[in-house]
């Protein structure tokens, strides 16, 4: 539908129409329209452009994950940055609540994974500056303000995540940082609040709320938000892939990363504050979701929660590891630790997303055998009574398996 509107109304016309009648997520709308815009400008078929855009999105996610690693730890080589970034990227994929909505459906990816990347960048820049007692340059403040503005226009709960991170950073720096830079933090907060205001003032929000008549219950939203957050945390506690990621960060920080700035006792305050900011942000997401729909946060929204938990948890473990002596200056220790980090990645195979893919494959195979027992998937001669593999795939999807 959106691609048809882009073709008939243009990008600006489509965004204006949706803003007035459907939603205020301007950043997400532009990202969702990207395949249609590229197809229209280049003349390449939309069916070809769509998967190319999705593949580019996966590459960007990996690039931002590598960026996170390079900023979280100083002195890493590029292969080491890539290893840590690839591990974060892989953990996000395998712990996804819905891998299809994270990677293969642009409406889900644009609305939640794009702001997830914005949050990762803001998170690591603020944590790095606070932990290492460095100064945010004017350029960094401008870029982070722009990212905060665009992130606030992506969905309804991302701006509250950004506000929690920026406000927490400002509070910490006011007491413990030699250069608080409160004016710069005020600029970032202002940009984020402007984006939030534009998002909330969309006339289309009323239309979306009307589709969920059970929503709008404020008191129930706070209690149910806490309930759904608890379920999410319990799920992560039981996931071996989550512990593989945190174990990787711990090993990497102590045995691979070169010596980092020695921590003072105030670093504990930063760690506690970071945990509080992440949990407060996640709680806000579930409160807003229940208020709007009287339901749990949508699976595509929970994908964003997964990324925030992994990146935030990685920052916490990396900071805590600074209290241990670094052994990364021994070459044989580094090599052994890198091998151990690689072995930890095998725990990612026991995950929600890969389990879903495995069950999906079994369902397709079983349905194929029922529909055409005398032929295989690869056979060209499937017999007169057999359905084609793509028809069987559609049937599996329709069955919700």
Using CA atoms, how far apart are residues 127 and 289, in angstroms rounded to an integer?
28
* Residue 388, pLDDT score: 45
On whether the CB atoms of residues 108 and 303 are closer than 8 A, the answer is: yes
Q: Report pTM.
A: 0.85
Calculate helix-pair angle for 158-176, 138-152, nearest 10 degrees. 150
DSSP 152-180: HTT-SSHHHHHHHHHHHHHHHHHHH-SS-
Place of tokens 């591990």: 87
The number of residues in the chain equals 401
* CA distances (Å), origin 305, targets 83, 210, 300: 23, 26, 9
Helix, strand or coil, per DSSP, at residue 221: helix
- pLDDT for 1-22, tens place per residue? 556 666 667 788 888 888 888 8
- Are residues 217 and 291 in contact, defined by beta-carbon separation less than 8 angstroms? yes
Q: In this structure, are residues 232 and 335 in contact, taking their beta carbons and an 8 Å threshold?
A: no
Q: Which residue has 């204006």 as its token pair?
A: 16
Q: What's residue 328's pLDDT?
A: 60
Return the sign of the alpha-carbon dihedral for residues 104, 106, 111, 113.
positive
> What stretches in the chain show pLDDT beneath 50?
364, 367-368, 375-401
Inter-residue long-range contacts of 163-170, CB under 8 Å, 24+ positions, other chains counted = 163/189, 163/192, 163/193, 164/277, 164/278, 164/280, 164/281, 164/284, 165/119, 165/122, 165/123, 165/126, 165/277, 165/281, 166/122, 166/126, 166/192, 168/273, 168/274, 168/276, 168/277, 169/126, 169/129, 169/130
298-325: pLDDT as tens digits: 999 999 999 999 999 999 999 999 888 7
Predicted pLDDT at 10:
76
What pLDDT score does 400 carry? 42
Identify the sign of the CA torsion 327, 329, 330, 336: positive
């Amino acid at each position: 539908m959106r691609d048809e509107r882009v073709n008939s109304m243009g990008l600006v016309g489509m965004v204006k129409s949706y803003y007035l009648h459907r939603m205020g997520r301007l950043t997400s709308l532009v990202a969702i329209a990207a395949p249609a815009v590229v197809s229209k400008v280049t003349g390449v078929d939309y069916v070809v452009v769509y998967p190319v855009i999705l593949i580019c999105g996966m590459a960007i996610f990996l690039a931002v994950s590598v960026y996170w690693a390079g900023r979280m730890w100083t002195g890493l080589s590029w292969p080491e940055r890539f290893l840590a970034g690839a591990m974060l990227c892989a953990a996000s994929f395998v712990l996804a609540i819905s891998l299809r909505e994270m990677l293969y459906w642009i409406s889900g990816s644009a609305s939640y994974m794009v702001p997830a990347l914005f949050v990762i960048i803001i998170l690591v820049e603020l944590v790095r500056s606070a932990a290492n007692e460095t100064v945010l340059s004017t350029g960094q403040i401008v870029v982070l303000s722009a990212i905060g503005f665009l992130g606030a226009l992506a969905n309804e709960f991302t701006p509250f995540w950004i506000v929690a991170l920026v406000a927490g950073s400002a509070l910490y720096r006011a007491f413990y940082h030699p250069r608080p830079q409160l004016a710069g933090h005020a600029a970032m907060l202002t940009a984020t609040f402007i984006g939030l205001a534009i998002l909330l003032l969309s006339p289309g929000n009323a239309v979306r709320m009307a589709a969920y008549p059970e929503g709008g219950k404020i008191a129930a939203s706070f209690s149910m938000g806490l309930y759904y957050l608890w379920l999410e945390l319990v799920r992560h506690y039981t996931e071996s892939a989550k512990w593989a990621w945190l174990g990787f960060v711990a090993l990497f920080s102590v045995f691979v990363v070169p010596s980092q700035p020695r921590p003072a006792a105030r670093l504990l305050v930063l760690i506690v504050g970071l945990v509080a900011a992440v949990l407060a942000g996640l709680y806000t997401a579930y409160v807003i979701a229940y208020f709007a729909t009287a339901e749990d946060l949508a699976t595509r929204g929970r994908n964003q929660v997964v990324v925030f938990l992994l990146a935030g948890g990685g920052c916490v473990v990396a900071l805590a590891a600074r209290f241990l002596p670094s052994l990364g200056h021994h070459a044989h220790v580094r090599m052994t630790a890198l091998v151990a980090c690689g072995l930890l990645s095998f725990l990612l195979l026991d995950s929600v997303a890969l389990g879903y893919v495995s069950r999906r494959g079994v369902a397709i195979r079983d349905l194929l055998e029922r529909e055409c027992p005398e032929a295989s998937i690869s056979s060209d001669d499937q017999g007169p009574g057999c359905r084609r593999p793509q028809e069987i795939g559609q049937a599996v999807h329709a069955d919700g398996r």
